[in-house]
């Protein structure tokens, strides 16, 4: 990085935005990289960061900002946010949110469980299954549908291992969790949907990237 850009005359969000704009306009790589690096450290709203990423070709800013927006309620977006996102990005975020919601709702309401015939020998199979479904309903369902701090589906296995399943044989619990690790694609569907949304917005940002 060209250290000549690190001057006392450049400060705050507005100062670094000016540098970002001018260096992108005049294709000055060192100054542009400096502005991107400094703005990355500052507190920009996710909608504003997406706007800048698309306008100036900064695809590396898209993933985190998109993930924040996918978890944010639309009620929390104001007119400035909507203006920054624009119709195309807002549509992608909305479709991504709907896809994630459907995936989460489906898994929450239909707890995964293998066929009893495939389970290890247990004289209390029905009780084990009943306990599994009860714990899922009381613990996992609630975590999946938490209004603000919900559990990522990719973290469900870790949570299941730590939650007590009183009344379920340890062998049966281990079998079900192992089965989920190998045969439950629903756990990764949410992350794939998020990554698809991120990728589609990053593609828009790459159009205006500086090319050396």
SS3 (DSSP) at 212: coil
Q: List % helix, strand, coil for the chain (3-state, nearest 5).
A: 75, 0, 25
Q: What is each CA distance from 152 to 101, 141, 176, 196, in whole angstroms?
A: 11, 12, 19, 16
pLDDT higher for 107 or 8? 107
Mean pLDDT across 106-133: 86
The pLDDT value given to residue 2: 47
Nearest to 107 by CA among 148, 73, 136, 129: 136
Domains of the chain, residue spans: 3-96+197-206, 113-183
Q: What is each CA distance from 124 to 128, 129, 167, 169, in whole angstroms?
A: 6, 9, 9, 8
Mean pLDDT across 23-40: 94
Residues of the chain with pLDDT > 70, as a percent, come to 95
Mean pLDDT across 154-165: 95
pLDDT of 140 higher than 60: yes
Model confidence band, residue 1 (pLDDT cutoffs 50, 70, 90): very low
Counting Cβ atoms within 10 Å, is residue 179 exposed (0-12), middle (13-18) or buried (19+)?
middle
Mean pLDDT across 98-118: 90
Mean pLDDT across 41-70: 97
pLDDT of 212 higher than 90: no
Phi, psi of 196 (to 5 degrees): -65, -40
Q: Which of 39-43, 118-122, 137-141, 193-197 is predicted least confidently? A: 118-122
Look over the chain and give the mean of its residue pLDDT values, rounded to a whole number. 92
Model confidence band, residue 5 (pLDDT cutoffs 50, 70, 90): low
Nearest to 27 by CA among 206, 209, 207: 209
Model confidence band, residue 10 (pLDDT cutoffs 50, 70, 90): confident
Q: What is each CA distance from 39 to 30, 159, 186, in whole angstroms?
A: 14, 36, 37
The pLDDT value given to residue 4: 58
Mean pLDDT across 133-162: 93
Mean pLDDT across 165-192: 92
């Amino acid at each position: 990085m060209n250290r000549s850009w690190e001057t006392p005359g450049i400060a705050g969000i507005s100062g670094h935005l000016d540098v970002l704009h001018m260096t992108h306009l005049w294709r000055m790589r060192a100054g542009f990289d400096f502005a991107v690096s400094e703005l990355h450290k500052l507190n920009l709203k996710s909608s504003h960061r997406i706007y800048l990423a698309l306008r100036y070709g900064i695809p590396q800013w898209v993933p985190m900002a998109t993930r924040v927006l996918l978890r944010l309620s639309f009620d929390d977006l104001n007119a400035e946010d909507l203006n920054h996102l624009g119709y195309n990005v807002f549509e992608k975020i909305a479709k991504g949110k709907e896809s994630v919601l459907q995936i989460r709702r489906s898994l929450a309401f239909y707890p995964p469980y293998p066929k009893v015939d495939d389970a290890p020998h247990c004289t209390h199979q029905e009780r084990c299954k009943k306990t599994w479904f009860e714990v899922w309903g009381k613990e996992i369902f609630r975590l999946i549908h938490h209004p603000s701090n919900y559990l990522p589906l990719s973290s469900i296995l870790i949570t299941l291992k730590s939650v007590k399943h009183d009344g379920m044989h340890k062998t049966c619990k281990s079998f079900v969790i192992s089965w989920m690790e190998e045969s439950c694609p629903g756990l990764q569907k949410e992350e794939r949907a998020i990554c698809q949304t991120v990728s589609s917005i990053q593609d828009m940002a790459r159009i205006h990237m500086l090319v050396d």
